Structure 1
Amino acid sequence: MPGQGETTVSVPLTPTRSDLYWRRIFNKYDRDADGKISYAELKEIIESREYEHDLPDNVVEKIMVLADKDNSGHLDFNEFVEMMHNPDFKAVFGHFVARYVHSIVPHRGPVDTTVVSTHSKSIFNYSDGTYEEEYSCWPPAICMILISLVEIVMFCYDAAHGSTTAVGPLAKIFIYNPNRRHEAWRFITYMFVHVGVVHLLVNLLVQLFLGVPLEMVHRWWRVSLVYLAGVAAGSLATSLTDPRVHLAGASGGVYALIAAHIATIIMNWAEMEFAIIQLLVFLLLAAVDIGTAVYDRYWGVGVTNIGYVAHLAGAIAGLLVGIGVLRNLEKRKWEKRLWLAAVITYCSLMLAGILANIFWVNHFPATQL
C-alpha cells in the first residue's frame, strides 16, 4: 500500500505500441543511458551534427519548465510520456516529435520486448531497431563517390588523348588483358576503364544510387569489400570462361552492389518496412539481365561485347560477401549458419579461381608482350 502523499504509477504488463514509440525516442536522447534526460543532454544533442535537425534551440527551456514536474532538472520516462500526451505541450514540442516518430518508428508488427517493472519505472529491452533508422549521413558516404570520380578522370584523360574505347594510354595499363595476367593489379583496376560514354554513365548511375545508401547504413569499408569482391570475381570468372577476352568496366562491382542489397534484405528482413517490394525489384533486375544474356546467346544478331559472366560472378560475390560483412541488425540462429556458409563458399570459389588462373597455363593464349 502506498503511503500518504505517494502516487501509484500504473505500468502495463505488456507495453502498448505507443509506449514503445516514446521509449525509442526517449532512449535516443538519453545519451548516458541513466534513465533520465537532463537539460545538458538535450542541449548537447541539439548542437551536435548528428541530431542538429531534431529540435530547435528554444524548445529546450520550455520542455524543462513545463514538463519537469518535480523540478529535478531532468525528465524521467514517465514525465516524458506525460508531456507527449499533454495537449498543452503540442504547440511547443509535438510537431517535432511527430515528424521524428514518422521518420524512425517501424511500421511493421510489434517488436519483441521484455518489461521489468519497479515502483517508479519500466525498463524495455528490445531489438536493435528497424533498418531504415540506421541511415546516417555521418560519417559521409564518399567511397562510391571517390571511385566514380577516379573512373571519370581516367576516362576523360584517355578521351583527351583521342580514345574513348578502352585503348587509351591509361586503359592499356589498367584494363584486364589475359596476355598480361602476371600483372595482378589488372584483375581489379579494369573497373576504372570504360568503353564509351554510355558504358561509363550507366555504371556511375547504378553504383551511386545503390552504393551510397548501402554506405549510409553499413559504412564505407564494408561496401568497399563487397564492391571489390565483385570486381575480382568478375575478372577471375571471365578469364576462365573466356580466356581471350579483354575486360573493362565496373559491372562486376555494380552487380555486387545489386546482390548486396538482396543480401541485406535477407539478413534484415524483419527490420525492413518494404522488404518484399525491394527484393522483387532487385530480382526483376537480375531476371532482365539473365534474359538478355540468354537472348543474345541464342537468338541475338551480331556479336555482343557485354561481359555477362562478369555480371553473374560479381552478383554471386556480392551476395556471399554481403551476407558475410554487411551489418545484421538482429542476429538469428539460422542467419549465423547462413553467414558461415556464405563465407566458406566465397573463400572456396575465390581460392579455386586464383589457383586456376595461376596453374591452368594451357587454358590461356600464349603471352604476348
Structure 2
Amino acid sequence: MPGQRETAVSMPLTPSRSDLYWRRIFEKYDKDKDGRISYVELKEIINSREYEHDLPDNVVDKIMSLADRDNSGYLDFNEFVAMMHNPDLKAVFGHFVARYVHSIIPQRGPVDTTGPWTGFRAVSTSDHDGTYEEEYSCWPPAVCMILISLVEIVLFCYDAAEGNTQANGTIAKLFIYNPHKRQEAWRFITYMLVHVGVVHLLVNLLVQLFLGVPLEMVHRWWRVTLVYLAGVAAGSLATSLTDPKVYLAGASGGVYALIAAHVATIIMNWSEMEFAIIQLLVFLLLAAVDIGTAVYDRYWSHLNQNIGYVAHLAGALAGLLVGIGVLRNLEKRKWEKRLWWAAVLLYCSLMLAGILANIFWTARFQH
C-alpha cells in the first residue's frame, strides 16, 4: 500500500536534494534511458567492474523480487529509491550499492549512522563537491581528439615515407604557417597538423589526448573542438604579429587551449568539483614550467631553437576565455554569468583585432 511504502523509505535528505541525488544514481543504472531499470540492466551493473562479480544470479533475483513492487519486471524511479532504503535488501545488496554509489558520486557529508545504509555518507544540502565528476560519460564516445590525432599521425607518416620528418615534406609545406605566404589563410589553422620530428608529434599527441578526452567526456566533442581550434587560431594570429618571421608547426596552441580549458572548467564548477584547488595548481604549474622552459631556451640558453612561445600564451588565453564561454557550467551563479559575458566579449574583441591587424597592418610584415 502507498502508506506502507512511504513509511519504509526514510530519506536522510531534504526532498528536493534527495530527488536530485537519487535521480542521478537512477540514471546511471538506466543504461538505455527509458526511465526503467530492467533485470538485465540491474544484472549488468552488478556484474560490472565496480562490483568485481561479487553477486551471483540468485542474489540478483532476490533484489528484483523484493524491489519490483508491482511485478512489472522493471524498477521505476520510486521503486529504485525504495530499494535503496529498504532494510530487507541491505544484507544482500546494501554493501555493493553503497560502494558503487560512492564510486560515482564522491561524498563529503556526515556519515549516516542510523539509517539502513550505516556508514554511508549523506549528501549535504550545501556541499556539491563531486557533482562534476558524475558527469563523465563514455556516450557519446569521446572520439574528436582521437580523430584529430589520427589525422596528424597519417599526415606525418605520409611525409616520413618520403624521408621528410622535419616539417619539410609535401604535406608540411602545404599546411605549415609560412610568414611569406600569409595570404593563404588556411595556414593559420592547418599548421596544427604539421610536426617537426617524432618527439614533437608524440608530445603533442599525448598531451592533447590526456587533456582533451576527459573534457569531451563531460562537455561533449563540439565544445572541446571549439576550444581547441580557438587556441590554434589565436596562436597563429598572435605569433604573426609579435614574431612575423617565425614559421609555426605543431598543435601547441590547441594543446594550451585544452590546458586553459581545464582551468576554465575548474573556475566555473569550483563548488561542484573534488579537490578543485589541487587540480588548478597542477594545470597552472604544468603551463608555467613549459612556457618558462620555452622562453629560457630561446633567449638565454645556447640551444638553437626558435620556439613560438607566443602561440602557447595566446592559445592558453583563448582556451581560458572560450572555455568559460562554451564549456558546461553545472550550477550558474550571478558572478559566473558576469564572468561569461566578460570572457565572450574579450575573446571576440581580441580575435577581431588580431584578424584586422593581420589583414591591414602590412608594414609589420614587410621584409
TM-score calculated relative to the size of structure 2: 0.81
Identify if the C-alpha distance between structure 1 residues 288 and 331 changes in structure 2 by more than 3 Å, giving closer, same or farther: same
Counterpart position of 1:115: none
Residue 302 (structure 2) pairs with residue 306 (structure 1): no
Identify if the C-alpha distance between structure 1 residues 311 and 341 changes in structure 2 by more than 3 Å, giving closer, same or farther: same
Is the 8 Å Cα contact of residues 42 and 60 (structure 1) preserved in structure 2? no
Counterpart position of 1:172: 173
Counterpart position of 1:42: 38
Instruction: Using the TM superposition, give the Cα deviation of residue 77 of structure 1 relative to its aligned residue in structure 2, in angstroms.
Output: 7.0
Identify if the C-alpha distance between structure 1 residues 181 and 47 changes in structure 2 by more than 3 Å, giving closer, same or farther: farther
Is the 8 Å Cα contact of residues 229 and 253 (structure 1) preserved in structure 2? yes
Q: Distance in 2 between matches of 1:351 and 1:254?
A: 22
Q: Distance in 2 between matches of 1:14 and 1:92?
A: 24
Counterpart position of 2:229: 228
Identify if the C-alpha distance between structure 1 residues 152 and 12 changes in structure 2 by more than 3 Å, giving closer, same or farther: closer
Q: Distance in 2 between matches of 1:351 and 1:246?
A: 22
Letter in structure 2 aligned against 1:267: M
Q: Distance in 1 between matches of 2:315 and 2:329?
A: 21
Q: Distance in 2 between matches of 1:169 and 1:26?
A: 54
Q: Distance in 2 between matches of 1:152 and 1:294?
A: 28
Letter in structure 1 aligned against 2:342: A
Letter in structure 1 aligned against 2:106: P
String of CA shifts for 1:188-208, please: whole Å, max 9, x gaps. Answer: 000000001110010000000
Instruction: Using the TM superposition, give the Cα deviation of residue 179 of structure 1 relative to its aligned residue in structure 2, in angstroms.
Output: 1.1
Instruction: Using the TM superposition, give the Cα deviation of residue 93 of structure 1 relative to its aligned residue in structure 2, in angstroms.
Output: 2.7
The 5 A counterparts of 1:235-254 are: 235-254=236-255
Counterpart position of 1:102: 102
Letter in structure 1 aligned against 2:261: A
Q: Distance in 2 between matches of 1:12 and 1:250?
A: 51
Aligned residues: 344
Instruction: Using the TM superposition, give the Cα deviation of residue 340 of structure 1 relative to its aligned residue in structure 2, in angstroms.
Output: 0.6
Residue 183 (structure 2) pairs with residue 195 (structure 1): no
String of CA shifts for 1:83-120, please: whole Å, max 9, x gaps. Answer: 4455652454335412321222232459xxxxxxxxxx
The percentage of counterpart residues that share the same residue type is 78
Residue 337 (structure 2) pairs with residue 336 (structure 1): yes
String of CA shifts for 1:129-170, please: whole Å, max 9, x gaps. Answer: 711111111111111111111111111111111111111011
Q: Distance in 2 between matches of 1:30 and 1:161?
A: 52
Instruction: Using the TM superposition, give the Cα deviation of residue 28 of structure 1 relative to its aligned residue in structure 2, in angstroms.
Output: 5.3
Counterpart position of 2:286: 285
The RMSD of aligned alpha carbons is 3.7
Counterpart position of 2:121: none
Identify if the C-alpha distance between structure 1 residues 47 and 148 changes in structure 2 by more than 3 Å, giving closer, same or farther: farther
Counterpart position of 2:260: 259
Q: Distance in 2 between matches of 1:286 and 1:27?
A: 37
Identify if the C-alpha distance between structure 1 residues 325 and 278 changes in structure 2 by more than 3 Å, giving closer, same or farther: same
Is the 8 Å Cα contact of residues 142 and 216 (structure 2) preserved in structure 1? yes
Unaligned runs of 5+ in 2: 111-124
Q: Distance in 2 between matches of 1:164 and 1:360?
A: 34
Higher RCO (C-alpha 8 Å, min separation 6): 1
Q: Distance in 2 between matches of 1:6 and 1:72?
A: 19
Q: Distance in 2 between matches of 1:148 and 1:286?
A: 21
Q: Distance in 1 between matches of 2:6 and 2:172?
A: 76
Counterpart position of 1:315: 316
Counterpart position of 2:275: 274
Instruction: Using the TM superposition, give the Cα deviation of residue 62 of structure 1 relative to its aligned residue in structure 2, in angstroms.
Output: 2.7
Counterpart position of 2:120: none
